Amino acid sequence: MTSQPITAQPGTPYGEFLAEQEEIQRLKWLASEREGHDIGFEYALNDWAKNHRAEWRSMRNQMLRQQD
């Protein structure tokens, strides 16, 4: 039995969760590179929620509406 990666459709709750998690991981990687050490997921999550989420969500919703 082989396991298949789980894929989720954009616009579904799970698909949006995965897209947001990917952006948080990207922020974590970039900030960790800049700082010279791993900043940790919790720090990246808080920074993301405070400084980036609202704008990303707005752009993401606009992109999803255009695809419909």
Q: What is the DSSP letter of 11?
A: T
Whole-prediction pTM: 0.81
Q: What are phi and psi of 51, to 5 degrees?
A: -115, -15
The CA radius of gyration of the chain, in Å to the nearest whole number, is: 14
pLDDT at 51: 96
10-68 residue pLDDT tens: 888 999 999 999 999 999 999 999 999 999 999 999 999 999 999 999 999 998 889 87
Distance of CA 62 to the CA centre of its chain: 16
Residue with tokens 């082989």: 2
17-30 residue pLDDT tens: 999 999 999 999 99
Decide if 31 contacts 47 (C-beta within 8 A): yes
Q: How confident is the model at residue 4 (pLDDT cuts 50, 70, 90)?
A: low
